[in-house]
Chains A and B, each alone.
Chain A
Amino acid sequence: MLRIEELYAYYGMAQSLHGVSLSLAEGDIAGIIGPNGAGKSTLMDAIMGLVRTQGSIKLDGHEIRGLSPADLVKSGIGYAPERAHLFPYMSVRDNLLVGAYTARADIERNLELVHDLFPVLRERWAQETATQSGGERQMVSLGRALMTSPRILLVDEPTIGLAPRICSAIAEALLRLNRETGLTILIAEQNVNFAMELARHVHVLETGRIAVEGPAQQLRSDPELAKAYFGH
């Protein structure tokens, strides 16, 4: 479904990705893990057309590299960026509705889905997101991405700074989404356990390069890899 080949990304003159290749099958959940500065967020931003890139990014066989973020969303990619990136002085409702701009016909259905996944958002409907907890803000961010009716959801560091209980709720929501709607999900995470629990396929990113990749179970069961990358 999504195929990235020899992708290079640049922030100004600095090169952040060095020939990253990976593919994501329809209905899959894949994880990108790696330490700070490995290039996880850059990879997400590169897919979303937010940084300068070279290489190839194909969605269903069509080249999408170079499209504007607006066109990428229209082609079915939803994005929940790192640290939520919400509109702080807007209500939960308005934050979600900004996401619904490109999928106006699906507003009711998508709202129902978001409320079903995160019931607390229904209660906090009129609350400004600046006054919400980190967990709730992350839920709004995921909700806003879901309001675009995505076929692939990119989620960048959804657990950063969150309590374990909230992380579990978010993991459960993402698994439910994948299970019940068949949504394809790509998660960039520093929290290895979180990513390994969700992803079927994992890519370990190191200084802008894929160092190791493979099925999550296989990586976890390899004692050397587990020691080197997963801390156990």
Chain B
Amino acid sequence: MTMAGIVTSRHLLLWLLFGAAMLALPQFVSNGTIRIIIFANFLAIFAMSWDFLSGKTGYVSFGHPFLIGIGAYASAILSYRFHVPLEFSIPLAVLATLVGGTLFFLPALRIKGTYFALVTLAFMELMYQLIQVVRPDLTGGTRGMSGIKTVLTGAAPNFYLSFMLMFVIAFSLWLLSRTRLGTALDAIAMNEEAVSGSGLSTTRLKLFAFMVSATVAGIGGAFYVHYLGSIAPRALFDINFVFTIIVSALIGGASTIVGPMIGAFFMTFLLEYLRPVLPGSERYFVYGMIALVLYVYKPKGILAILADLRDGMRAQGTGRAQRGKAS
């Protein structure tokens, strides 16, 4: 699988510009805004993780917090209860997500459509119930845990850490999705039988997509808990959290990796700016309405709107140049 021909210098320039602009951001915005962006970075990681499995293969997971939760709880328990240093607890937590997630999700990948979605939703609910009653001395039960070690302190250092994580994950997934493997995953969502009839093992492809997705969810979950310094089952295994992840991916542009990143920033800022006006969960009604309108008029999301704008500007530029030549 080569990268030749799939990544142009224009692509790399855009990624570099995006990275440089984001790294310069703390110089120009307040700490409050920086903290919002940190949440956006984590939401982007979760949305991209969801997108790599569900956006690409069409297997819509409603249980992503199940994976995020394994990563978050595993690292929190290891570091808080057993005093394992973070440089070990985080990789171990990612491994636990991969193993635990594969044990549960792999059999589920044999079923399709609504059934897969419902089974994954059941996993999340199961995890929510179990975490409160099984070994509450380790998990903290319904109250969860607080005072968990953080990786860094302060808004700016946490911004740089979360952004670098998000950036590396986004770039890696974007590269991966531009290979033949990524194309084959996209094909599964469109016609799984035809992929199979073309000689590809869809089981292996789905397993690969799942493992990548679980790894990213595990990384995100582990770092998220060590940013927050606390964890509670009610906040993590919440249906609103699932919908925020899914809507971020869909609103940005599913199956594109970049789209979910844009969607996550849009969603985080939207929910934050709505907070003073609508402090309760009514905010979710507003984003639901926005998502609905967007799906009706632009089902491919914000990324497609941006692409249309770019094409429109190019067409205008070409038209102007032709008129100039004619005159």
A73–B198 Cα gap in the complex (Å)? Answer: 7
Interface centre among A48, A68, A99, A101 (most CB of B within 10 A): A101
Pair B199/A85 contact, Cβ less than 8 Å: no
Residue ID in chain A nearest B190 by CB atoms = A87
Pair A85/B200 contact, Cβ less than 8 Å: no
Task: Tell whether B186 is near chain A: CB-to-CB under 8 Å.
Answer: yes
Contacts of B195 in A (CB 8 A): 98
Contacts of A100 in B (CB 8 A): 180
Pair B190/A81 contact, Cβ less than 8 Å: no
Contacts of B197 in A (CB 8 A): 48, 50, 69, 73, 79, 81, 85
Pair B194/A86 contact, Cβ less than 8 Å: yes
Pair B191/A101 contact, Cβ less than 8 Å: no
Which residues between 187 and 223 of chain B lie within 8 Å of chain A, taking CB atoms? Answer: 187, 190-191, 193-201
Q: Nearest Cβ in chain B — how far from A218, in angstroms?
A: 33
Residue ID in chain A nearest B182 by CB atoms = A94
A144–B196 Cα gap in the complex (Å)? Answer: 12
Pair A68/B201 contact, Cβ less than 8 Å: yes
Contacts of B191 in A (CB 8 A): 85-87
Q: Nearest Cβ in chain B — how far from A111, in angstroms?
A: 14
Q: Nearest Cβ in chain A — how far from B206, in angstroms?
A: 13
Given contacts A94-B183, A97-B180, contact A69 B190 (CB under 8 A): no
Task: Tell whether A11 is near chain B: CB-to-CB under 8 Å.
Answer: no
Task: Tell whether B184 is near chain A: CB-to-CB under 8 Å.
Answer: yes
Pair B196/A98 contact, Cβ less than 8 Å: no
Pair A101/B194 contact, Cβ less than 8 Å: no
Contacts of A103 in B (CB 8 A): 199
Which residues between 140 and 188 of chain A lie within 8 Å of chain B, taking CB atoms? Answer: 144-145, 147-148
Pair B199/A102 contact, Cβ less than 8 Å: yes
Indicate which residue in B190, B200, B201 contacts A89 across the interface (CB closer than 8 Å).
B190
Indicate which residue in A70, A87, A89, A94 contacts B199 across the interface (CB closer than 8 Å).
A70
Contacts of B198 in A (CB 8 A): 73, 98-99, 101-102, 144-145, 147-148
Pair A73/B194 contact, Cβ less than 8 Å: no
Which residues between 76 and 128 of chain A lie within 8 Å of chain B, taking CB atoms? Answer: 79, 81, 85-90, 94, 97-103
Q: Nearest Cβ in chain A — how far from B251, in angstroms?
A: 19
A89–B190 Cα gap in the complex (Å)? Answer: 8
Contacts of A88 in B (CB 8 A): 190
Task: Tell whether A74 is near chain B: CB-to-CB under 8 Å.
Answer: yes
Which residues between 24 and 63 of chain B lie within 8 Å of chain A, taking CB atoms? Answer: none
Contacts of A72 in B (CB 8 A): 199
Q: Nearest Cβ in chain B — how far from A108, in angstroms?
A: 13
Contacts of A74 in B (CB 8 A): 199
Indicate which residue in B183, B199, B200 contacts A90 across the interface (CB closer than 8 Å).
B183
A73–B183 Cα gap in the complex (Å)? Answer: 19
Contacts of A81 in B (CB 8 A): 193-194, 197
A99–B183 Cα gap in the complex (Å)? Answer: 11
Residue ID in chain B nearest A141 by CB atoms = B194
Residue ID in chain B nearest A103 by CB atoms = B199
Pair A87/B194 contact, Cβ less than 8 Å: yes
A147–B187 Cα gap in the complex (Å)? Answer: 16
A142–B190 Cα gap in the complex (Å)? Answer: 18
Contacts of B201 in A (CB 8 A): 68, 70
Contacts of B183 in A (CB 8 A): 90, 94, 97-98
A4–B187 Cα gap in the complex (Å)? Answer: 31
Residue ID in chain B nearest A102 by CB atoms = B199
Which residues between 39 and 90 of chain A lie within 8 Å of chain B, taking CB atoms? Answer: 48, 50, 68-70, 72-74, 79, 81, 85-90
A86–B195 Cα gap in the complex (Å)? Answer: 9
Apart from A86-B191, A98-B195, list 5 A-B contacts with CB within 8 A.
Answer: A69-B197, A70-B199, A99-B199, A102-B200, A148-B198
Q: Chain B: residues with CB nearer than 8 A to chain A?
A: 180, 183-184, 186-187, 190-191, 193-201
Q: List 9 A-B contacts (CB under 8 A).
A: A48-B197, A50-B196, A87-B187, A90-B183, A94-B183, A98-B184, A99-B198, A101-B199, A102-B200
Leading 3 A-B pairs by shortest Cβ distance: A73-B199, A102-B199, A85-B194
